[in-house]
Copies of this chain bind each other. A is one copy, B any other.
Amino acid sequence: MVHEEISIDKSSFIPIYYQLFKLLEEQIRRGDFKPGESLPTENDIASRYEISRMTVRRAISELVSAGMVYAQQGKGTFVATPKLDNIVFEINDFNEDIKKRGLNYKTTLLEAKIVRADENLRAKFQITEENKRFLFFRTVLSAESERLSYEVKYTTYSKSKPILESELKDPSLPGLVAAHTEYLPVSSKKVLQVAVCTEEEALILGISPQSPVFLIEQTIFDTELRPVGWSKAVYRGDRYKLTSYDGWYKKD
């Protein structure tokens, strides 16, 4: 296969550092520089293309960010070996998958009320006070009139921030928390497990009991690391999967 000659066009509106980044990336991909080998020195590249060394460094730093090369002070810059045992499952929203497929999805609010915390809930929110009240939501997500997931959510509650009608449409946990917390919610922890669903969940989702499901618990914390929101969601195992891509070739 013949590769078209790529080079640097200093008069282009595309930044030089970006052109060089793409050029080096392509050369690495097609094996001009192999894993473990070193790239030409920054000064070599700079004089080769008659550009500044700082511009070369900008290009190389992009390669470093992409994980394709690594630099060692005093030695040089070397091509990395693609790491293939790294697994990164990234989901902006566990439901995004469904939405992307263009299906008609909708969230149904089963219940919304103010509750007093029982012992279990107090543990989740790391409080001892017995009379503290929380907002409680139960929702079901469905697509094409098929129920896909069931979620219960709790957030802190204060009288000064009542429930708004608009929240009830599609109450996401981060959204609810932001609306009912004094402090800024800044961090979140999620735990994914597999389980077989309970009879109640099976009934709600319209699947047979003991079916395998994804179970995701999420806790949201404020600036002082106090829990201000907690949710537990059950996703049908036969309708969800997570995909991870790795290595040099990534989805653009």
Query: Which positions in A face B, CB cutoff 8 Å?
Result: 29-31, 34-35, 65, 82, 84-94, 172-174, 177, 184-196, 210, 212-214, 216, 220-221, 223, 225, 237, 240-250
* Copies of this protein, total: 2
Contact B196 A212 (CB under 8 A): yes
Beyond A174-B84, A184-B31, A187-B246, whether A192 also contacts B223 by CB under 8 A is no
Contact A241 B185 (CB under 8 A): no
**Distance in Å from the Cβ of A146 to the closest Cβ of chain B?**
17
Contact A89 B174 (CB under 8 A): no
Give the residues in chain B near A243, CB-CB below 8 Å: 189-192
Beyond A188-B246, A196-B196, A243-B190, whether A87 also contacts B82 by CB under 8 A is no
16 further A-B contacts with Cβ under 8 Å, apart from A189-B244, A194-B237, are A30-B223, A31-B184, A82-B187, A84-B187, A84-B188, A87-B93, A87-B216, A88-B89, A88-B91, A188-B246, A191-B243, A192-B242, A194-B212, A194-B240, A210-B210, A212-B213
Q: Which residue of B lies closest to A94 (CB)?
A: B87
Contact A187 B89 (CB under 8 A): no
Beyond A82-B184, A84-B185, A94-B87, whether A212 also contacts B195 by CB under 8 A is yes
Cα distance A174–B246 in the bound complex, in angstroms? 12
Give the residues in chain B near A91, CB-CB below 8 Å: 86-88
Q: Which residue of B lies closest to A190 (CB)?
A: B244
**Distance in Å from the Cβ of A148 to the closest Cβ of chain B?**
14
Closest 9 pairs (CB-CB, A-B) = A187-B247, A194-B237, A187-B249, A89-B89, A84-B174, A192-B242, A84-B188, A188-B246, A194-B212
